[in-house]
Amino acid sequence: MPRGRKRTRVPIARRRRVLGIGRCCYCGNVDGPFWVEHRVPVSRGGTNELDNLDCACAECNFEKGDLLVEEWEEQRRAAGLG
Ligand SMILES: [Zn+2]
């Protein structure tokens, strides 16, 4: 087996389960629309396993982008938003 992670998509059942949370894990927004959020972005070595997935609103998902949660929070603090 080659080393390294495959960039597979999150299986639909897992997406449904995560989106079914119905609440943004970052800002608590319950209005949606929601996205499957990778707490550690795939581009940073995160996986598609449930323990790396969470439900986030589109705004938080977009804002966080490829940052780690800690980096994003740091950025928000620096911008006076956190
Ligand atoms: Zn949010």
CB 54 within 8 A of CB 11: no
Instruction: Give the per-residue pLDDT at 43.
Output: 93
Residues 80, 57, 13, 20, CA torsion sign: positive
Instruction: Give the per-residue pLDDT at 9.
Output: 87
Amino acid making up residue 26: Y
Q: How far is the CA of 6 from the centre of ligand 1 (A)?
A: 28
More confident position, 39 or 6: 39
What backbone torsions phi and psi does residue 37 show, to the nearest 5 degrees?
A: -100, 130
Q: What is the mean pLDDT of residues 6-25?
A: 91
Residues with C-beta atoms within 5 A of ion ligand 1: 24, 26-27, 29, 57, 60
Res. 2: pLDDT tops 70: no
CA 3 to chain centre: 24
Q: How far is the CA of 45 from the centre of ligand 1 (A)?
A: 22
* Half-sphere exposure for 15 (CA within 13 Å, toward CB): 8
pLDDT digits (tens, 9 = 90+) for 36-75: 999 999 999 999 999 999 999 999 999 999 999 999 999 9
Q: Which CATH class is domain 12-78?
A: mainly alpha
Where are the domains positioned within the chain? Answer: 12-78
Residues in the chain: 82
Instruction: Give the per-residue pLDDT at 31.
Output: 94
